[in-house]
């Protein structure tokens, strides 16, 4: 049993993923933003389409701009655009507030999707009634395996009839 390492002792385990991770690396992994990929965008758009009240608002055929923590957040570039945000939890609230200020100038022809690590559950959930919480997921295709689930928020293009129908349904 000892030669085969089947006696239950930790021979060699410290060199594998089963060992206790370095706390500094674990903390960095928790707060790390998701990395953009086409697979991630496609999977998130599928999730938004599965949401019952947002199904008809997804614009798959549009070209999506991508933004992250340290990309340029120039307001004029966000006007009349569809933007996919991969953010860390530290920058998410500032990005959502900037997007809301810009979205008010062209609400019918712009939309935004936010993918954020869930460090605090409702830290961003009540910023504005126009931003919809789509859900959280462990199984989104990320280039780095997420330590915490990723939350998805969606700010759809404004549609007066759809908004009226949602209010009537409540």
**15 in a structural domain:** no
Inside any domain, residue 71: yes
pLDDT digits (tens, 9 = 90+) for 44-79: 888 888 887 776 666 776 788 889 888 888 888 888
Provide CB contacts within 8 A for 130, sequence distance 6+. Answer: 100, 103, 155, 156, 158
Q: Give the SS3 label for residue 33.
A: coil
Contacts 24+ apart (CB under 8 A), 21-27: 26/147
Residue 22 lies in a domain: no
From 27, 51, 70, select the one nearest 113 (Cα to Cα): 51
**Predicted local confidence at residue 84, as pLDDT:** 92
142: containing domain: 34-169
pLDDT at 99: 92
Positions of the chain with pLDDT under 50: 13-15
Q: Is residue 139 part of a domain?
A: yes
Structural domain contains residue 120: yes
Specify if 164 maps to a domain: yes
Residue 3 lies in a domain: no
Count structural domains, the chain: 1
Q: Does a structural domain hold residue 132?
A: yes
């Amino acid at each position: 049993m000892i030669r085969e390492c089947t006696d239950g002792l930790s021979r060699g385990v410290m060199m594998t993923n089963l060992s206790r991770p370095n706390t500094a690396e674990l903390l960095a992994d928790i707060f790390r933003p998701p990395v953009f990929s086409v697979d991630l965008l496609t999977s998130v758009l599928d999730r938004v389409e599965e949401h019952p009240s947002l199904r008809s608002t997804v614009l798959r055929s549009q070209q999506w701009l991508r933004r992250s923590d340290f990309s340029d957040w120039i307001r004029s570039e966000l006007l009349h655009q569809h933007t996919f945000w991969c953010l860390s939890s530290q920058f998410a609230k500032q990005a959502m507030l900037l997007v809301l200020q810009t979205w008010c100038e062209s609400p019918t022809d712009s939309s935004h999707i936010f993918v954020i690590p869930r460090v605090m559950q409702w830290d961003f959930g009540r910023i504005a009634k126009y931003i919809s919480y789509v859900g959280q997921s462990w199984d989104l295709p990320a280039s780095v395996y997420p330590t915490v689930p990723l939350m998805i928020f969606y700010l759809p293009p404004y549609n007066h009839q759809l908004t009226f129908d949602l209010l009537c349904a409540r």
